[in-house]
Amino acid sequence: MVCLSNSNVTHAEVLDETQKHWEHNLVTTEGVFMKRFLVVLLVGGIHWSQALAAARGVFFPMSPAQAMIIIQGFSMEDGSLDQDPYKLYDLLLAPENTLPSGDKGKILETSDKSVLLTCVERPSGTRQCQFVIKESAFTEIDKSAKSLNYVRRDSDADLWFTQFQPTEEGKFLFVTTDGKFKLYVTPFSLEIGFRD
């Protein structure tokens, strides 16, 4: 995974990290196209990624519909660093492993692979989380409005609930500082929302 908020990242590092990450995560027939598209997007979009926001949405232009929501820290007006990716990483109870990129990280995925959550901690201590959400019976993606809703009420909800430290009795709620992204999980419901 590539930490887009780091302005010291070289184009070669972006290409290398992106290639490593997507070789392991994209196995569809569109995988080759997606890898090339993401490299172009990430290399060409480094300056775009540095605007102030805690959550970023990338909506892919091909079918089936897919979106990637990136949660990264940013400098707030008072000079402090937004803590969203740190909070989400700590609240995620999935086991911490060494990822293919060499970073520490946690991964959580739905049984049908329609949602993949990856949170990474770099050796420098910076953290970033990203959700890759694919078209499914549970997904509504509006590419033109840059919004998505994901709602499922089945055994995956209970599985995901066990993987988060509850924020209140019987539920987990995480909302980014900028209010663009929401993750709500109970034993009966898994809901993800993003509005740019």
Q: Is residue 182 in some structural domain?
A: yes
Q: Answer whether 139's CB lies under 8 Å from 149's CB.
A: yes
The pTM of this model reads 0.71
Q: Is residue 5 in some structural domain?
A: no
Q: Answer whether 172's CB lies under 8 Å from 166's CB.
A: yes
The string of pLDDT tens digits covering residues 52-61 is: 457 889 998 8
How many structural domains does the chain have?
Answer: 1
The string of pLDDT tens digits covering residues 69-120 is: 999 877 666 666 778 999 999 999 999 999 888 899 999 999 999 999 999 9
Q: Say whether 91 sits in a helix, a strand or coil.
A: helix
Q: Is residue 1 in some structural domain?
A: no
- Looking at residue 94, its pLDDT comes to 95
Q: Write out the residue range of the structural domain in which residue 136 sits.
A: 11-195
The string of pLDDT tens digits covering residues 23-43 is: 344 333 344 334 333 333 333
